[in-house]
Amino acid sequence: MYNIAMQESAVNLLQRIYGYDHFRGEQEAIIDAVVAGRDALVLMPTGGGKSLCYQLPGLIRDGVAVIISPLIALMQDQVNAMKQLGVPAAFLNSSLSMAQQTGIEHALRAGEIQLLYLAPERLLQQRTLGLLESLTVALFAIDEAHCVSQWGHDFRQDYLGLNLLHERFPDVPRIALTATADRRTREEIIQRLELSGAALFVSGFDRPNIRYAIATKTSPRSQLQAFLEYRQHEAGIVYCLSRKKVEDTAAWLSTKGYKALPYHAGLSAQLRETNQNRFLREEAVIIVATIAFGMGIDKPDVRFVAHLDLPKSIEAYYQETGRAGRDGEPAEAWMVYGLQDVVRLQQMQAGSDAPEQFKRAERHKLDAMLGLCEVTSCRRQVLLNYFDEEDHPPCGNCDNCQIPPKTWDATEAVQKLLSCVYRTGQRFGAVYVVDVLRGKDSDKVQQNNHQQLSTFGIGAELSEAQWRSIARQLVVRGLLAVDVEGYGALQLTDRSRPILRGEQTLELRKDELKPKSGGKKSRRSKRDIAPEHEALWQALRACRTRLAAENNVPPYVIFSDDTLQAMLADRPMSRMELLAIHGVGEKKLDNFGSDFIEVICQHTEVVQG
């Protein structure tokens, strides 16, 4: 039996294999529980370090650790990353030839593999279950465990079958992990995977290194361009709702000099794979994508996630933005949204033929999302409250904390808008109502004879954008409804009346309506390399790029930016010194140490003259 770690303590392994000196948060407690044979449910934010929680027990416990993960496309990278650390790992999926599969099965029987990655559908095949029953299984890790939940947003039918593990392998500990779990999802995971006896580890959901900013959509492209102005050297994701918009935006960004690639379910599998690989392997690639992109992407140095359209729930928003900054370095979650987004999502929901109860849940989630967009206090507090974390002070790292939005007494403007909706018969969308308010003498206005209305032209003092901002806020607050079955006509609600009658006043948010340039990079933005270190920094990166290509892995699998940065600061020139650097373990020292030492020596001699 091949086992690289039995008898060795977890913290030793952490240092020897990964080159890290201490555990983060609850990692150690989780590892201890699983090593002792207990089931565990781990809720930890993205970037918290979930992988170690099953990898280390997998090395310490006897037998092979089986990791169930929904995306076969990414297994190869995970396995390669483990191999770079000197850990024998493999995956079984349909991309392998028959001969390769037999080879892996043989290696498994010989006890030569310590981590085995499987998609759930593969695991549930009789052949696989039979194979596993003939082996010693160290543990089952169920990654992205929220996929078992129908209440959640990534439901996968195959995950439901995983409760069978409990029956077929009663003595093997199971560890389920996820980054998204509000209380209901969490309960569903426990129930469906039969984890009621499991040790529960809930880490805080906060991602303090991510800065949240949400602006009113005025001219999305110039807004995006302003946001990206100082980000030519950064990798990021831009999310759009439709495939067409994905392609248009990617093409447009390319003309602006960005390395922008499209990704959506309508592209060929081959092109999707190419674009995903370029995103993982090259530097500073922007992926423009629908939500089809991202699950399981564990690229640590994504510096921003931008939304050009509104996600339909806070869970979705938090998971998508959570793909930024897994390495813990400053990262940006940026979004523009407008009235049209609200109307579109409400219409999509109304048009679906889902059961009423489901629709109600969806509406509730959208309302929470809109609340996040409109809030004038700290956004992080809203996000964390949603995940039942209630005691956080204002964060200082969101747009509202940094530039508190102004509010104004909008009562009179709101009265004008509401009466204009009423006078035009509650049959028109916001664009038309605003035309009437501003006294625009268009053909359509003429046709309807609306230039005769008492509300025609009573709102000339505000711009179109300002009126749209007011309309949006009224819709979000339920003071106006959108006729979702029809053409998005605005209609009054019960709540409109007190304001129309002058019984209630209303403060609204004053939206910033001109695109601000991204301006100076965000406060704690990217590491700045001192000019005298620039040459070595570039040389270290070039060395990393070359080794990554030679080993067919992404650059960060060789060493993270953090590790290169530490080399820059400490200039290790011997193996001993290099081993002391964060992120340098035994195996990587052997494989890459001399290359980096050589680069450092060359550059250091030059500096010393």
Which partner, Zn ion, ligand ADP, none, binds residue 47 by CB below 5 to 8 Å per kind?
ligand ADP
The distance of Cα 154 from the centroid of its chain, to the nearest Å, equals 13
Which listed residue (3, 33, 46, 305) binds ligand ADP by CB under 6 A? Answer: 46
Shortest Cβ 334–ligand ADP spacing (Å): 21
For 234-272, letters b (16+ CB in 10 Å) and e give bbbbbbbbebebbbebbeebeeeebbbbbbbeebeeeeb
Shortest Cβ 446–ligand ADP spacing (Å): 59
> Which of residues 142 and 401 has its CB atom nearest to Zn ion in the complex?
401
| Assigned token pair, 152 | 């959640």
Which partner, Zn ion, ligand ADP, none, binds residue 326 by CB below 5 to 8 Å per kind?
ligand ADP
Which partner, Zn ion, ligand ADP, none, binds residue 49 by CB below 5 to 8 Å per kind?
ligand ADP
Q: Which ranges in 70-125 belong to alpha helices (H)? A: 75-84, 98-109, 120-123
Stretch that binds ligand ADP, among 46-54, 278-286, 476-484, 515-523 (CB under 6 A): 46-54
Q: Is 280 in the site for Zn ion (CB under 5 A)?
A: no
Shortest Cβ 451–ligand ADP spacing (Å): 59
Stretch that binds Zn ion, among 129-137, 242-250, 332-340, 394-402 (CB under 5 A): 394-402
Sheet of strand 115-118: strand arrangement:
89-92, 115-118, 64-68, 137-142, 174-178, 40-43, 199-202
Shortest Cβ 332–ligand ADP spacing (Å): 18
- Residues 6 or more apart in contact with residue 566 via CB below 8 angstroms: 581, 582, 583
Which partner, ligand ADP, Zn ion, none, binds residue 44 by CB below 5 to 8 Å per kind?
ligand ADP
Which listed residue (11, 20, 202, 448) binds ligand ADP by CB under 6 A? Answer: 20
Q: Is 300 in the site for ligand ADP (CB under 6 A)?
A: yes
Which partner, Zn ion, ligand ADP, none, binds residue 235 by CB below 5 to 8 Å per kind?
none
Q: Is 49 in the site for ligand ADP (CB under 6 A)?
A: yes
Q: Is 395 in the site for Zn ion (CB under 5 A)?
A: yes
> Which of residues 49 and 338 has its CB atom nearest to ligand ADP in the complex?
49
CA distance 116 to 2: 14
Query: Which residue's Cβ lies closest to ligand ADP?
Result: 49
Give 135's DSSP letter.
Answer: S
Which partner, Zn ion, ligand ADP, none, binds residue 395 by CB below 5 to 8 Å per kind?
Zn ion
Q: Which ranges in 330-429 belong to alpha helices (H)? A: 339-351, 356-374, 379-386, 399-402, 411-423
Q: Are 573 and 600 in contact (CB under 8 A)?
A: yes
CA distance 112 to 132: 14
Residues 232 to 251 in contact with ligand ADP, rule: CB under 6 A: none
Return the number of other C-beta atoms located less than 10 Å from residue 338's C-beta.
22
Which listed residue (34, 210, 401, 536) binds Zn ion by CB under 5 A? Answer: 401
Please name the helix (run of DSSP H) or strand (run of DSSP E) that holds residue 490, with its range, or none. strand 490-492
Which partner, ligand ADP, Zn ion, none, binds residue 80 by CB below 5 to 8 Å per kind?
none
Residues 354 to 393 in contact with Zn ion, rule: CB under 5 A: 378, 380
Which listed residue (5, 33, 52, 240) binds ligand ADP by CB under 6 A? Answer: 52
Count the site residues for Zn ion by CB under 5 A: 5
CA distance 275 to 238: 14
Q: Are 172 and 13 in contact (CB under 8 A)?
A: no
Which partner, Zn ion, ligand ADP, none, binds residue 48 by CB below 5 to 8 Å per kind?
ligand ADP
> Which of residues 51 and 491 has its CB atom nearest to ligand ADP in the complex?
51
Shortest Cβ 321–ligand ADP spacing (Å): 13
Stretch that binds ligand ADP, among 17-25, 408-416, 448-456, 570-578 (CB under 6 A): 17-25
Give 242's DSSP letter.
Answer: S
Which partner, ligand ADP, Zn ion, none, binds residue 311 by CB below 5 to 8 Å per kind?
none
Angstrom CA distances, 514 to 11, 325, 409, 508, 609, stand at 52, 28, 21, 18, 52
CA distance 125 to 127: 5
| Assigned token pair, 508 | 């609204």
Shortest Cβ 373–ligand ADP spacing (Å): 26
Q: Are 175 and 55 in contact (CB under 8 A)?
A: no
Which partner, Zn ion, ligand ADP, none, binds residue 378 by CB below 5 to 8 Å per kind?
Zn ion
Angstrom CA distances, 80 to 75, 88, 91, 487, 555, stand at 8, 10, 10, 52, 12
CA distance 46 to 206: 10
Q: Is 23 in the site for ligand ADP (CB under 6 A)?
A: yes
Which listed residue (31, 305, 398, 589) binds Zn ion by CB under 5 A? Answer: 398
Residues 315 to 374 in contact with ligand ADP, rule: CB under 6 A: 326
- The binding site for Zn ion (CB under 5 A) comprises 378, 380, 395, 398, 401
- The binding site for ligand ADP (CB under 6 A) comprises 20, 23-24, 27, 44, 46-52, 298, 300, 326
